[in-house]
Amino acid sequence: MSPEDTSIGRAVRFLSDRFPVDKLSFAALVGKKEVPVHKMSWAYYLGGLVLFFFGIQLTTGLLLLFYYQPSVSDAHASVDYLTHDVAGGALIRNLHAWSCSAMILTLLVHLLTTFAMKGFAKPREVTWLSGVALLIITFAFGFTGYLLPWHQIAVNATKIGLQSIEQVGQYLPGALATLPTRLREAIQGEPSVGQATLSRFFAIHVVVLPLFTMAVLGLHLLSVQIHGMSQGVDRPADKTERFFPFFVLKDLSLWGVVFFILATIALCVPFESFFSFPLFEPYDPLGSTPDGIKPEWYFYFVYYPLEMLPFWLVNLVMAGAVFVLAAAPRIFRGTGRQTLRTLAAGAAAYLIVMTLFGHRIYAMVKGGH
Ligand code: HEM
């Protein structure tokens, strides 16, 4: 058996096919890159747009840190002070909140379009897998950030979220059954959501997740540049466009327009005006849990099914969906783009219906009206 046929040899070949060292030069990564021009070309701008929103999150997040106090006694007051007394504070907070929503929305469209265009296929498995990791990281950003202002809804919603982790235990066999409880305890840090939880969520939100994101994003972008844009449609494009400077300039112009729209919305529309709960009701450990507590809109796709269907079923389906996403390069190796487009459209329809009409469906199922 030659060394290349051993498992180490195969692993090295897999990696050197995906990260050819001779392509690690500016000329190969940027200078020679061409972007196909066809009817789905607009989708090639989505990843860059997610990158832009991530940049806004990092910048505004750093500015918020100048005032935010991660303690149960001061967190709420510090956010209140920042919003009402610091010049530009409300704008920075609004930008952070609107850009978070915009990032998640764009990220989901990016995922669905790259799936529909078969962007996950060989040699782009690493791009895809790092993308799946970025999706999970982004949802973790949303979950941990929500607790930080330490208001009534945030703390209670976090409690419910953490309890659902624990609930998974009852469906696991043997020693595994205690794992979710231990995980919840590790995240929570004390018997009830309190200072230890806030400290952990703060550390995860502002240090752990940004560091992870930068590492995984670096891999994602390097792998995109090495392999160039995938063809995307069934018939190879007749025309291509130089990535540098033409595509990059268009990317930057789009970011400029989007920044203008985002800043206008953040200046004129306070984020919480879209929610039925007043944001600034500080958490009261002795108070009762407010009625109708809901997570942020980007968790509705799992929240409403959890309210209506058996817990184990929803968890099984979600775990299955994550598995299918992660294994997409293998599962859909031989699948045509027409089928992939149909699957992506089905997933998009589900996400849209559950996010926009989940509350009505829930009212119909539960209330019979
Ligand atoms: C923080 C999150 C993310 C950022 C900043 C990001 C950024 C980018 C950028 C700049 C590109 C190149 C331009 C484009 O094709 O749109 C790209 C390509 C790609 N991304 Fe992402 N991405 C993220 C998450 C994801 C996720 C969640 C997935 C899917 C699971 C994904 C899958 C892909 C694939 C397959 C490509 C290659 C597309 C092609 O070659 O046609 N990305 N990404």
Taking only the tens place, the pLDDT of each residue in 283-323 is 887 777 777 678 889 999 999 999 999 999 999 999 999 99
**What are the residues facing 282 on neighbouring strands?**
151
With H, G, I as helix, E, B as strand and everything else as coil, classify residue 239: strand
User: What average pLDDT score do residues 278-282 get?
Assistant: 64
pLDDT band for 276, please (50, 70, 90 cuts): very low
With H, G, I as helix, E, B as strand and everything else as coil, classify residue 118: coil
The string of pLDDT tens digits covering residues 126-172 is 999 999 999 999 999 999 999 999 988 889 889 999 998 989 998 88
Residue 43 Cα: closest atom of ligand 1 = 16
**Alpha-carbon gap, residue 52 to 47, rounded angstroms:** 9
Find the angle CA(173)-CA(177)-CA(179) to the nearest 5 degrees. 135
**Alpha-carbon gap, residue 28 to 195, rounded angstroms:** 50
Ligand 1 contact, 141 CB (< 6 A): no
> Atom 38 of ligand 1 has which residue's CA nearest to it?
119
Tally Cβ neighbours within 10 Å of residue 134.
Answer: 21
Nearest CA-CA partner of 305 in 267, 353, 258, 337: 353
pLDDT of residue 23: 74
Tokens encoding 56 = 């806004």
Nearest CA-CA partner of 338 in 107, 46, 120, 118: 118
Unique residue bearing structure tokens 């060394």: 3
The string of pLDDT tens digits covering residues 232-257 is 999 888 899 999 999 999 999 999 99
Residue 21 has pLDDT above 80, yes or no: no
User: What average pLDDT score do residues 104-124 get?
Assistant: 97
Domain 32-295: give its CATH superfamily: Cytochrome Bc1 Complex; Chain C (1.20.810.10)
Tally Cβ neighbours within 10 Å of residue 353.
Answer: 14
Ligand 1 contact, 47 CB (< 6 A): yes
DSSP state of 60: H
**Alpha-carbon gap, residue 91 to 83, rounded angstroms:** 8
| Cα(156) to centroid(ligand 1), Å | 34
**Alpha-carbon gap, residue 238 to 165, rounded angstroms:** 50
pLDDT band for 368, please (50, 70, 90 cuts): low
Residue to probe by mutation, ligand 1, list 18, 58, 134, most atoms within 8 Å of CB? 134
**Alpha-carbon gap, residue 203 to 330, rounded angstroms:** 36
| Cα(215) to centroid(ligand 1), Å | 14
Inter-axis angle of helices 311-326 and 125-147, nearest 10: 140
Ligand 1 contact, 118 CB (< 6 A): no
Sequence-separated (6 or more) residues with CB below 8 Å from residue 29: 23, 222, 225, 226
Nearest CA-CA partner of 148 in 84, 77, 91, 45: 77
With H, G, I as helix, E, B as strand and everything else as coil, classify residue 269: coil
| Cα(31) to centroid(ligand 1), Å | 20
Residue 280 has pLDDT above 60, yes or no: no
Q: What's the predicted TM-score (pTM) here?
A: 0.93
Nearest CA-CA partner of 298 in 59, 107, 40, 45: 107
